[in-house]
Amino acid sequence: MDKRLVAVGGVIVAAALLGGGWYLWRSRQATPPYAPPAESVARAPVAVPAATPASEPAIRHPINAAEMESVDAAAVTLDAAALAELLGQKLVLQFLQTDGFATRVVATVDNLTRPHAAPRLWPVNPMPGRFTTETANGAERIAAANAQRYTPFVRFVEGIDSQRAATLYFRHYKLFQQAYVELGYPRGYFNDRLVDVIDHLLATPEVPAAPPVRLVEVKGSVPSTRPWTHYEFADPGLERMSAGQKLLVRLGPDQARRMKAKLAEFRRLVAAPGR
């Protein structure tokens, strides 16, 4: 199989805004009932739905079968060596979690519209440094320098060729559909979910830099060794946003706009025309 398939993971990582910052923001995550399986484990390939019976959910953004290659999902291995062949070992070590990579991508895309996105399932490493705040106008706010931690990843995302990656995504779609079914959606269609998540992220409101935050008291007999992970937005409206939208806000206004532009570009390539 063409090992350039891993470029698809890179663009879906981009589409999912996998900056790794959630891990450094707060650790109060709901533990999902599943864990990403190793990609080396053999498994029977899943068939992509060719038709939609009346009892099945309608597929809104179908991928043309002619655009897909016949891929045996059991033979696919997205390991560190394959990723390094495309991106270089330095970038792989810097950004990616390579074990169970395809399943991590699919699980994280699915989680980004929810209140929590468990960091143990993310396909990228946490960004270096830690979340920092500063006091301005009598309120504790996200430090202006905090967004700089995400700059290398944003540049990495912007450098991905969306057209090339979308073509590879179409050709190897069965791999991601397989992971989505195994995630617990036997009647689901991953490309529909991907487009919905992108639309959700594009709807994130623009927020001025450095919104106010507050430290959440963690009660217990054992003091927290990582107190900086327990901040939340002071604005209840921002705090009610999904994990993915909060991550966009933490990128800062400029980087959030750049990521939205990349999201919109990729959506045009994978969504059904006119939808």
pLDDT in tens, 229-271: 578 999 999 999 999 999 899 888 999 999 999 999 999 999 9
Q: Give whichever of 5-14, 40-49, 98-107, 229-238 has the largest mean pLDDT.
A: 229-238
pLDDT at 173 over 60: yes
Angle at 259 between CA 253 and CA 262, to 5 degrees: 145
Q: Which residues contact 244 (CB under 8 A, 6 or more apart)?
A: 16, 17, 112, 113, 117, 197, 200, 201, 204
pTM metric for this prediction: 0.76
Instruction: Kindly indicate the confidence band of residue 181, based on its pLDDT and cuts at 50, 70 and 90.
Output: very high
Looking at residue 72, its amino acid is D
Per domain, the residue ranges of the chain are 3-52+64-128+147-208+253-270
Terminal Cα-to-Cα distance of the chain (whole angstroms)? 32
pLDDT in tens, 27-74: 333 334 344 444 433 344 444 454 444 456 799 999 887 777 655 554
Q: Which residues contact 23 (CB under 8 A, 6 or more apart)?
A: 119, 122, 126, 229
